[in-house]
């Protein structure tokens, strides 16, 4: 009997009725966040960008040389990148048709970014131009994906 009473006391202090999850009153938004899982803060945000690559090795070398991105390979036909802010990947496949979504990379020094893109083997497809908020240029990577780089200056 003593051990059963001790066990009951220990359990009652570990799971007090007022602190048990099933007894807490939750606001609808708190309940939605709790049920959404660990990535609830990213709900409705762009989470991952995936692009085609005609040559995985050349694509990796380009983005490492031009922007310093880090890569993790998942077999010979897929690599994932991290740029320090966002993640994405390149899947081996044919070049994407032009005219799709435009991915825009920020650079504090636009001229330096343009030099780095060209030195790494990228092709400038729209030279630097002004737009409301700054300046940017467009480039094609080794797989033909068109991206842009912008700066406030």
Q: How confident is the model at residue 24, as a pLDDT?
A: 43
Looking at the structure, do residues 111 and 139 belong to the same domain, yes or no? yes
Q: Are residues 28 and 84 in the same domain?
A: no
Looking at the fold, whether 117 and 67 belong to one and the same domain comes out as yes
Query: What are the strands of the beta sheet with 78-82, ordered from one edge?
Result: 49-53, 87-92, 78-82, 70-73
Q: Can you give the residue range of the structural domain that contains 12?
A: 2-42
- Shared domain check, 67 and 38: no
Identify the pLDDT of residue 113.
97
- Within this chain, do residues 34 and 80 fall inside the same structural domain, yes or no? no
pLDDT the model gives residue 45: 86
Query: Can you tell me the distance from the alpha carbon of 124 to that of 146, in angstroms, rounded to the nearest whole number?
Result: 9
Are both 54 and 33 inside the same structural domain? no
Same domain, 13 and 76: no
pLDDT of residue 5: 35
Which pLDDT score is estimated for 35? Answer: 62
Q: Read off the CATH number of the domain in which 132 is found.
A: 3.10.180.10
* Residue owning tokens 């995985």: 56
| Mean pLDDT split into 10-residue runs, the chain, 153 residues | 34 37 46 66 87 97 98 97 94 90 96 98 98 96 96 91
Judgement on whether residues 78 and 127 belong to the same structural domain of the protein: yes
pLDDT score for 32: 53
């Amino acid at each position: 009997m003593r051990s059963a009473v001790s066990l009951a006391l220990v359990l009652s202090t570990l799971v007090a009725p007022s602190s048990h999850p099933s007894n807490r009153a939750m606001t609808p938004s708190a309940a939605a966040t709790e049920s959404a899982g660990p990535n609830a803060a990213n709900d409705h945000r762009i989470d991952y960008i995936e692009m085609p690559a005609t040559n995985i090795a050349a694509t990796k070398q380009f983005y490492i040389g031009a922007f310093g991105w880090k890569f993790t390979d998942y077999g010979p036909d897929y690599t994932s990148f991290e740029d320090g802010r966002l993640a994405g990947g390149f899947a081996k496949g044919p070049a994407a048709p032009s005219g799709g979504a435009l991915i825009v990379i920020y650079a504090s020094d636009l001229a330096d970014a343009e030099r780095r893109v060209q030195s790494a083997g990228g092709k400038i497809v729209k030279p630097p131009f002004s737009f409301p908020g700054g300046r940017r240029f467009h480039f094609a990577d080794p797989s033909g994906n068109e991206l842009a780089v912008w700066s406030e200056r």
